[in-house]
Chain A
Amino acid sequence: MGELALLITLFAPFLGSIALLFIPNREPLQVRGVAAGSAGVTLLAALYVFLAYDPEQGGFQFITKWSWSEELGIAFHLGVDGIGAPLVFASAILLFAGIFISWHIKDRTKEFYIFLLILAAATIGVFMSLDLFFLYFFYEMSVLPMYVLLGVWGSHTKGYLSMTDSEGRKLRDSVGFILNFGANSKEYAAMKLTLFLSAGAVLALMGILLIYHFSPVHTFDILVLREVADFDGTLATIIWLLVFFGFASIAPIWPLHSWSPVGHAAAPAATSMLHAGVLMKLGHFSIIRVAYEILPETTQQLMPIAAILCVFSILYGGFVAYFAKDTKYVIGYSSSSHMGYVFLGMAALNYISLTGAVIYMFAHALATGMLFAMAGWVYDQTHTRDIPSLGGLVQKMPFLAGAFIIACMASVGMPGTVNFIAEIMIIVGAWEKYPFQVIVAVLGIVLTMAYLFKMMRGLFYGRLSAEYAHVSDARNWVDRMPLLIMIGCSIFFGIFPMHFYNVVRSTVVPMLDRINQVSPVLTQQTTGLFP
């Protein structure tokens, strides 16, 4: 039953996109209906997978395995562990919400939903692949639809180069600015994103091929590799670095982040949601799946790299977000800043922090999904993302303003939302090993509060420009439901996190035991936050 649910989760969006091919473009309601239907099926199946995952048993569950190519040692091997299951669930939530968020897209509706469904399905595929080949297969497959989604349905960015702070000083994103050849167009953003991520993917592929070649058994099967593979010395370091930086480019870790805010800003709302919500987590997830499972010793030695880089991610993203004037840039940079927390949680390599990191991925998916959805709504209504030219929207959009406050609270990590649980676990867990980084992370929370409330004030309070007198709130259920679902999940798991926590912990504990066996000094901290 669980196996079936897993397959349904993966294939329902694919089948939905195939079904869409046969529906004429002039029937937008049918198109949306089919897309929503397949996403709904996925959501239910993913929910089932998440609930049916047995934390007592732990490990990989709902395993399906079919031989795909014996010649190359590839099997179509699916299954989830306590890290994959919540992320599959998060992808399904965001896909379902994204379908409704983009309900009003009029231009080539059918193609939009086809690409969106493929994107989401490929993302889900990564989270349940137990074969390196299919992990890469779905990973690369999720990158390409982004190109078309951004390019066709995205929006140009105005004034990125002339971003100014409150005193009128020009603000430049150093890396992003240098590589941004004076172009603010969505085409540029799409191309940059695709090439950047493909380059990262190719690095990772090199690492995967090296793993394949040097393991005693020529196979791509992760479950076999983690038992038999035994890499050490220079080779292990090279593979680890290739895998880490290859996958971290999508995460995105500083200094490989410059594609991400540009890409987020150009993308249509539903794509930004999926992109910031789950696509970026592919990076962390793949690092955990490949580096943590197959190269535990090297991970133990080299993970401090992530601990160093995450400081830059957190501060850099936070400060740029504070000064950015474009709603989507604020959220985009806040995402790359928040991904630093996940890296911190991963780098500390103890039960609490890694569990926190995984929960944070889920929590951030919901919070950032909400923010992007609402930024998208504001953009659709006002056709601008420039914060200074907006203001007073609360008069026209009371519901949205309320939801926005909740989303900001969630993003900041207010108690009562699942973000709080995740943040506190990362901070508590990482304190012993990386006290400096934890101080930075706490500072980052303050920064988050500053820029999110600044943006909220800029958008919703102050004087309403006459230009925007016609804007309307999210009134009917189609527009409200996706926001309510995300808010509901965020609060529900914030108040009842136990199943979630147990699921994640059941996988994190044995994984870290393998990693830390090398130097048992670090495995002292066995007491959980929740006994």
Chain B
Amino acid sequence: MTFDLTLSGSDLLLLAPEMFLTIWLCVVLAVDCTRRTINHETLAYLSVGGVVVTLVTLIWFDYAEIHGALFKDTFVLDGVAIFFKIFVLMATALVLLCSVDYVRSFKFFRGEYYCLIMMSALGMMFMASAQDLLSVFVTLEFSTFGFYVLVAYLRDNQKSSEAGLKFFILGVFTAGLLAYGISLVYGETGTLVFSEMTATPGSYGLAIGYIMIFAALGFKIGAVPFHSWIPDTYQGAPTPVTAFLSIAPKGAAMAILIRMFYVALATFKPTWVLLFVVASIASMTYGNVVAIAQKNIKRLLAYSGIAQIGNVMIGLAAGTKRGSDAILFYLLTYLFANLGAFAVVIGVSNLIKSDEIEDYNGLNRRSPFLAAAMLLFLLSLAGVPPLAGFIGKLYIFVAAIEQELYTLLIVGLINIVISMYYYLVVVKKMYINEPADPSPLSVSTPLKTAVFVGMAGTLLLGVYPQPFINWAVDATLMFSNVVAPTAAVPTLPSPIGG
């Protein structure tokens, strides 16, 4: 295999967002290095500015339908890639806004923090475009490197170091799994590009290889049984990093999962549907049940995230175009609600230096704004109308019932009720309990902006989702041919088919 590295002007255009962000990252780093006296807030706004410019460029790409492939199809820019790039960048911008106050608590390296966030974002943007296994490996590791550092950023905090170490060891282990899985798949198929694998006959080597790759990606999205790092890492990491970790890598890894299973493994659909049904049921149930016992809001959101990813996998289990639309839309609703909830957590922990749920007592009296925002985000995560989460869940369920996945549907519906319990426990603390210290809390402007964006997204997607649904439908147009239409898909035996 030889790479043809001659790039024309129009090819460069496809790479423009990534190139711009790379340059911008260096600029921020250079400014930080050369002017040590510069206010770190200026750096934050500088970074946000760069991310927003990239975001706007990508929205224009989407509008103008600038699509294409580079480097022998290893880098593609299509609807899904643009969608997930925008997704990652929105998360990045919101996380950067949330970080402004939090970064004050860092003793060193305030500037590097922003650069590392942007670097991880860059890695995830490439992940969204990864079209063959080699680029999957490279981009996945690229994005994770930034996180290794970020998770352990609170150097004198034992919990943060522990979180970093756990994340690192398990992360490196899954990187090994990924590499091994890729080598097996390459051995069986003789190719690395997804679209060239479609005609490969099934074999044990291929199955084991793909299960290893799935394990590595499952680690990224935090699906049961690859979730064990999540609670400790989420709790120990600096909260904005947790927020970033809880959403952006999940989106980017989901892009790879969709591509891999919808394109490369389309012929084996009945087999992997079973895989996702099991993973989805396990994730939803485990995440929701264990979340009930949590005393720390970050751990609660960690387990709720495991459950949410279980919901997302219902879409993959459906394995249809409708399923992929639903995944995209669901992730969008999850982005706003989850990041919003973390923004509130950051706001509270900036002020009272605690993440215990007990300390949310009487938040409504101390800061009506934060409490109302949290109420909105938690109810959206629980799937209560008229908020975004409800539409997302309904969309996913519609995709599932079209494939007649009744078991999955029933488990999913029961889980809504279970999840409602622990979200309401937090609501109870905020609204019903009386605060130990009733002094009012004030929220800084950048954080308020992030919370407002989250609230606006949560409400807008709940009340008027049509444009966003259309966006998801258009973005996944290429899967309408790849995955066979509903009628032609072989139905599964009774355990799932009901």
Contact = CB atoms under 8 A, between A and B. Distances in A.
Interface of A: 25, 67-72, 108, 111, 133, 136-138, 140-141, 144, 147-148, 151-152, 186-187, 190-191, 194-195, 198-199, 202-203, 205-206, 209-210, 212-213
A141 B424 contact: no
A217 to B, nearest CB: 14
A190 B421 CA distance: 11
B395 A137 contact: no
Interface in B372-429: 375, 379, 384-386, 390, 394-395, 397-398, 401-402, 404, 409-410, 413-414, 416-417, 420-421, 424, 427-428
A213 to B, nearest CB: 5
Main secondary structure of the interface of A (DSSP, over half): helix
B465 interface: yes
Contacts of A151: 427-428, 431-432
A501 to B, nearest CB: 35
B398 A209 contact: yes
B390 A198 contact: no
Contacts, number: 83
B413 A202 contact: yes
A187 B432 contact: yes
Contact of B398 (A72, A152, A186, A195): A72
A477 B432 CA distance: 32
Given A152-B431, A199-B417, A206-B410, 6 more contacts: A69-B465, A111-B368, A205-B397, A205-B413, A209-B398, A209-B409
A133 B386 CA distance: 11
A68 B467 CA distance: 10
A209 B364 contact: no
A111 B368 CA distance: 9
A494 B384 CA distance: 39
Q: Interface size class for chain B? A: 35 or more
A148 B431 contact: yes
B421 A140 contact: no
Nearest to A203: B413
B328 to A, nearest CB: 12
Closest 10 CB pairs of A and B: A151-B432, A137-B385, A202-B413, A213-B401, A141-B385, A209-B401, A199-B417, A71-B469, A198-B417, A69-B466
Contacts of A69: 465-466, 469
Contacts of A191: 421, 424, 428
B473 interface: yes
B428 A187 contact: yes
A436 B145 CA distance: 75
B470 interface: yes
Contacts of A152: 364, 431-432
A68 B466 contact: yes
Main secondary structure of the interface of B (DSSP, over half): helix
A152 B361 CA distance: 13
Contacts of B390: 137, 140
A202 B421 CA distance: 14
B386 A141 contact: yes
A350 to B, nearest CB: 35
A108 B364 contact: yes
Interface of B: 325, 364-365, 368, 375, 379, 384-386, 390, 394-395, 397-398, 401-402, 404, 409-410, 413-414, 416-417, 420-421, 424, 427-428, 431-432, 465-466, 469-470, 473
B375 to A, nearest CB: 8
A212 B404 CA distance: 12
A24 to B, nearest CB: 11
A147 B401 contact: no
A140 B431 CA distance: 20
B408 to A, nearest CB: 12
B368 A148 contact: no
Nearest to A214: B401
Contacts of A148: 375, 427, 431
Contacts of B384: 140-141, 144
A118 B409 CA distance: 29
A206 B424 contact: no
Contact of A210 (B395, B401, B466, B473): B401
Contacts of B470: 71
Given A137-B390, A198-B420, A199-B417, A72 B401 contact: no
Nearest to B383: A140
A195 B466 contact: no
Contacts of B379: 144
Nearest to B402: A213
Contacts of A133: 394
A396 B409 CA distance: 58
Nearest to B418: A195
A206 B325 CA distance: 21
A194 B424 contact: yes
A202 B466 CA distance: 24
A206 B364 contact: no
Contacts of B416: 198, 202
Contacts of A210: 401
Contacts of A138: 385
A198 B469 CA distance: 26
B424 to A, nearest CB: 6
A213 B390 CA distance: 19
A147 B424 contact: yes
Contacts of B431: 148, 151-152
Nearest to B384: A144
Contacts of A206: 409-410, 413
A111 B372 CA distance: 10
A200 to B, nearest CB: 10
B417 A202 contact: yes
B469 A209 contact: no
Contacts of A70: 466
Contacts of B409: 206, 209
Contacts of B420: 194-195, 198
Contacts of B398: 72, 209, 212
Nearest to B404: A213
A202 B401 contact: no
Given A108-B364, A151-B432, A198-B417, A212 B386 contact: no
Contacts of B404: 213
Nearest to A213: B401
